Amino acid sequence: MAENFLALDRGITAPVYYGEFGMAHTILKNHQLLASIINDSAPFKDKVAVINLYCYNCTTPEEGASNWALKGIEKDILRYFLPLCEGDFTLFDLSGDEQGVAPYRAYGQFLIIAKGQH
């Protein structure tokens, strides 16, 4: 799949692509999955954005929302990030160099918190 994407890019050469290339939490940690391969390939070296989604009080008729991929930082999400959420969806940019952001950056550059979605 990565080879197909890179071959397609050689013909399109768009400055930005949007798409879901696997589970966000694996991109920075597992270097054998699609998004990681693209992230480690020129011209995309370190340019794949990792966007994690944390669901707070979200449900579906089939099953409850799962935040297992963010379990390692869930306490901090509830303590520090959730109180800053004013709407149904809040985007946090964790790509900066601030010292306090470093523990969260290992999970990705962005975090979206969805509240009360059904």
Q: Which helix (H) or strand (E) holds 92?
A: strand 89-93
Q: What token pair was written down for 73?
A: 């930082």
Q: Express each pLDDT in 66-116 by its tens digit.
A: 898 899 999 999 999 999 999 999 999 999 888 889 889 888 899 999 999
* pLDDT given at position 25: 67
Kindly report whether the global pTM for this prediction surpasses the value 0.85. no
* pLDDT given at position 73: 94
**Where do we find the tokens 């399109």?**
12
Residue 108 neighbours by CB under 8 Å, 6+ apart: 24, 25, 27, 28, 49, 50, 51, 52, 94
The phi, psi pair for 55, rounded to 5°, reads -105, 125
The phi, psi pair for 109, rounded to 5°, reads -80, -20
Task: Check whether 27 has a pLDDT greater than 70.
Answer: yes
In 3D space, the residue among 21, 83, 17, 90 whose CA is nearest the CA of residue 53 turns out to be 90
Query: How many CB atoms neighbour CB 33 within 10 A?
Result: 17
In 3D space, the residue among 65, 78, 66, 69 whose CA is nearest the CA of residue 28 turns out to be 69
In 3D space, the residue among 60, 117, 118, 57 whose CA is nearest the CA of residue 88 turns out to be 117
* pLDDT given at position 102: 87
